[in-house]
Copies of this chain bind each other. A is one copy, B any other.
Amino acid sequence: MTNKVCVLGAGSTTYGKLNESIIELALNASREAIISAGITPKDIGAGYISNVFGAADKQVHIAPVIMSNLGIPYVPGLTIESACGSGSVMLREAFANVYAGFYDCVLAVGVEKITHTGTAQSTTLFSYCSDFFYEGGNGASFPGLFASIARAYLSTYKATEEDLAYVAVKNHENGMLNPKAHVKRRITVDEVLRSPVVASPLKLYDCCPFSDGASALILCNEKFAKSSGRPYVEIIGSGRGASPAAIQGREDITTIPSTVNAAKQAYKMAGVTPKDIDFAEVHDCFTIAEVIDTEDLGFFEKGKAASLTREGETKLTGRIPINPSGGLKAKGHPIGATGIGQVVEVFEQFTGKAGQRTVKDAEIALTHNFGATGASAAVHIFKKVN
């Protein structure tokens, strides 16, 4: 006997450069999710936490500290790490436990506190998430790795740096409508193209920011959700994938195998195809990532995403809105929280809380979040219920 798994509540801190501690951030998001679900902490059977660099804020083993501070010290929690994909990989485990009947209701909270270490130290710490022996240890930090990927894509598919700029412009546009976004600034294609080069062909506005923040969900089985009498969202598909850790091990760096495989599993489980997805939150750590994601997820034919993004197909009012929240690019990227924050966006969209960024008539949505250059990834598919 397996259970349908539902999202009954969601909460999030603002993403950005924040003063709260890692624990305070996690608690603020968790409390908002608990209130949003109309439950009390004692309804929670277990806590699933995602985080990467707790040690940077001098708190590892954050799960029991979070549970204790929520007033449920005897409820077990654990932390899952999968680099920038930690949130979605954690969601998959929380999903599996409710699906298998181990718990009726769980808290899933992702958190990261990193900006206080500064940009240089953050870049160094993040580079430990690459295959450090081959990549980070030789100076290939993520901007450089994604620059290689962008270079390969642009030359293979005759796309342009200007095409990539449209991803940033669109996500900043969406972020303007998200009160919790890190970067609230409308930008133009010209500004993106003239921003400082970080790792050619990627410029400052092709890169997402380093962010602090936390996002939380209440997941439960269908019986629990129905008995609440509240609106909820059903998770109808879940998939996980992996790629060779170092990009040198991949046959083609213009596609990410973990995304392709995770999506295949999630679509199969959900019984839907890419055409059925009304909007998606995808992993746009760099503009090139969103382009590749939307092809790997099956929304666009290989090599077509850049030009179709430029033509507006991924805008809030386009054929397939991508990152209505603003994405990692504008909403921000607190790495342990990102994958959960994407689901917060789906929940808000499907429960009438997305305000001006609401995707019209949406009923099925997808979230996609990966770690490093896609060495790990998970994809989830959601259905609006009521």
Q: Is the CB of A242 within 8 A of B75?
A: yes
Contact check, B74 vs A243: say whether CB atoms are below 8 A apart: yes
Q: Which of A121-149 contact B (CB under 8 A)?
A: 125, 128-133, 136-137
Question: Does the CB pair A78–B376 fall under 8 Å?
Answer: yes
- CA–CA, A111 and B101, complex, Å: 29
In the complex the two chains form, what is the Cα distance from A246 to B67 in whole Å?
11
Interface positions, chain A 41-92, Cβ under 8 Å from B, are 46, 52-55, 58-61, 63-65, 67-68, 73-83, 89
What string of 1s and 0s marks CB contacts (under 8 Å) between A349-384 and chain B? 000000000000000000000011001100000000
Given contacts A61-B376, A76-B241, 16 further A-B contacts (CB under 8 A): A23-B133, A52-B60, A53-B55, A53-B60, A60-B81, A60-B128, A61-B128, A61-B245, A63-B376, A67-B242, A76-B240, A76-B242, A78-B376, A96-B100, A99-B100, A100-B100
Contact B376 A64 (CB under 8 A): yes
Assess the B54–A242 pair: CB atoms within 8 A: no
Chain B residues closer than 8 Å to A61, beta-carbon distance: 81-83, 128-130, 245, 371-372, 375-376
Picked from B21, B60, B89, B376, the residue with its CB within 8 Å of the CB of A83 is B60
- Verify if A231 is at the interface (C-beta below 8 Å from B): no
Number of copies: 2
Is B64 touching A245 in the complex (CB atoms < 8 A)?
yes
Q: How many residues of A contact B (CB 8 A)?
A: 60
Instruction: Let me know if A209 is at the binding interface, CB within 8 A.
Output: no
A83 to B270, CA, bound (A): 36
Chain B residues contacting A59 (CB-CB under 8 Å) are 128, 132-133
What is the distance, in angstroms, from A62's C-beta to the closest C-beta of chain B? Answer: 9
Given A52-B60, A59-B128, A78-B89, decide whether A68 and B244 contact each other with a Cβ distance below 8 A: yes
Name the contact of A79 in the complex, choosing from B63, B73, B81, B130 (C-beta under 8 A). B81
A73 and B261 form a contact (CB under 8 A) = no
User: Does A211 make an interface contact (CB < 8 A)?
Assistant: no
11 contacts between A and B (CB under 8 A): A53-B60, A60-B128, A61-B83, A61-B130, A61-B245, A61-B371, A74-B241, A75-B242, A76-B240, A76-B242, A80-B81
